[in-house]
Amino acid sequence: MKGSRHFRVSALLSACVMSLIATAGWSQSLTWLGTLGGSQSGASGVSANGPVVVGWARNASGQERAFRWTASGGMQDLGTLGGNESVAWDVSADGAVVVGRAYNAAGQLRAFRWQNGVMQDLGTLPNSNYSDAVGVSADGTVVVGYDSDTASQWRAFRWTASGGMQNLGSLGGNWSTARGASADGSVVVGSARNAARQDRAFRWQNGVMQDLGTLPGYDRSYAFDVSANGAVVVGRVENAAGQGLAFRWQNGVMQALGTLGGTWGEALGVSADGSVVVGWARNAAGQLRAFRWTASGGMEDLNTTYASLLTNGSVLLVARAISPDGRYIVGRGYNAATNRNEAFLLDTEPRCTAHNGDVDANGCVDDADLLAVLFAFGSTGSNLGRVDVNCDGVVDDADLLQVLFNFGSGC
């Protein structure tokens, strides 16, 4: 009986420790990126690694400026083409190339490509007076966007260093805009007007612009992003009543992504494999809310999913982009701590945080923390929890010594 009782106690202790290992110390994070000294900011693109975030922010003079943000360097003003303002819309996978629009010295808006501290004016198509770069390929060599001709008609373009700015045409109507590019830049998505003067989402490849149609009950569609392989397109459909719905298109089928209870929403970003979509939608109260969609979970309000990260009444309003692996989401929200709309970076992947040996996070380094480390001693991996005190991927002498060194702290 004594041996049996000892076994049951040991098993219970082991179960408790394993639960501690699995759940403690790993948490997602929300970072408000601040401004350039002004009143607001918004994030519109995120790299595959780092991450690097790009967008726009107001400076102390109230001017809108393109920014590039890193955890180590903070928010960097990318400047202009000689004018007062600029906006960054997208960034390459490695974070080195940024695209957007900026005013030149003559007060004209021009598409730009920024790299290594140099902002390059991409010019315009013939007979144009305005251009805007909205998307970029993974390696930063292909830029897509739109310009406006002298008749104020928009024209989608695809730019390369060797070929310059190429007019992608339309669906038979008088305007088109390009918004996103596949990883290699061979597929471009956006919106165009057809011969019947209907607005339609398109997918362009090898010189052919494909009309993606719309959903039943909706007469307009607009595409904003495309998966890495060019197979999945996301955007918005609209009807005559002014209602909008987020969609995901694949293999000729346009799928409605649902709602958050309201009558308006749009999908703005998609992961590399097309499985995760982000955007914004209105809830039943008509409030703007950032969402994430997956086939298994449907449309979820990021404010609900990550409520523990939101304090002081802060709200995630719009999710503009998602990293290729689906880990990072960026956009714009209300930061109650600063009482302003700000760019945000949401890290959805649990990560380890080094600590003083308080494994169970109860404020006291004691026997329970010591036992937790001893039971897990020798374990390796990337998701060990707080028993990996120094977050080096292995529970070893270094973790045990940290607990022993701080034993009794906070008790």
CATH number for the domain harbouring residue 403: 1.10.1330.10
| pLDDT of amino acid 88 | 98
User: Distance between CA atoms of 243 and 25, rounded to whole angstroms?
Assistant: 43
CA angle 291, 292, 293 (to 5 degrees): 120
- Residue of 314, 369, 288 whose CA lies nearest to 32: 314
Residue 318 identity = V
pLDDT at 289 over 50: yes
Q: What is the pLDDT of residues 187-208, one digit of tens each?
A: 999 999 999 999 999 999 999 9
Residue 296 in domain: yes
What domain range is 126 assigned to? 26-351
> Quick one: 275 and 369 in the same domain?
no
**Same-domain check for residues 301 and 357:** no
Same domain, 94 and 166: yes
Residue 150 has pLDDT above 70, yes or no: yes
Q: Are 80 and 56 in contact (CB under 8 A)?
A: no
**What's residue 290's pLDDT?**
98
* Residue 405 shares a structural domain with residue 273: no
> Phi and psi for 359 in degrees, rounded to 5?
-60, -40
> How much is the pLDDT for 124?
97
Asked if residue 21 has pLDDT above 80, the reply is: no
Residue 385 and residue 250 in one domain: no
Domain boundary among 304, 323, 351: 351
Region 113-119: mean pLDDT is 98
Asked if 350 and 26 count as a contact pair (C-beta separation under 8 A), the reply is yes
User: What is the per-residue pLDDT for 311?
Assistant: 87
pLDDT tens by residue, 248-264: 999 999 999 999 999 99
Tell me, yes or no, whether 240 and 372 share the same domain.
Answer: no
Q: Are residues 308 and 359 in the same domain?
A: no
pLDDT tens figures, 51-98: 999 999 999 999 999 999 999 999 999 999 999 999 999 999 999 999
Q: Give tens-digit pLDDT for 319-348.
A: 999 999 999 999 999 999 999 999 999 999
Domain final residue, candidates 321, 336, 351: 351
Q: Would the pLDDT of 373 be above 80?
A: yes
Shared-domain flag, residues 236 and 136 = yes
- Helices marked H in 146-280: none
Percent pLDDT > 90 in the chain is: 85
Domain-terminating residue out of 305, 320, 351: 351
Residues 340 and 362 in one domain: no
Alpha-carbon distance 168 to 148, whole Å? 13
- Count other Cβ atoms within 10 Å, centred on residue 171: 20
For residues 208 and 226, give the distance between their C-alpha atoms in angstroms, rounded to a whole number: 16
Task: Note whether residue 14 is domain-resident.
Answer: no
Q: Total domain count for the chain?
A: 2
How far is Cα 263 from Cα 280, in angstroms, rounded to an integer?
A: 12
Residues 69 and 210 reside in one and the same domain: yes
User: Percent of the chain beyond pLDDT 70?
Assistant: 92
In a domain, 217, yes or no: yes
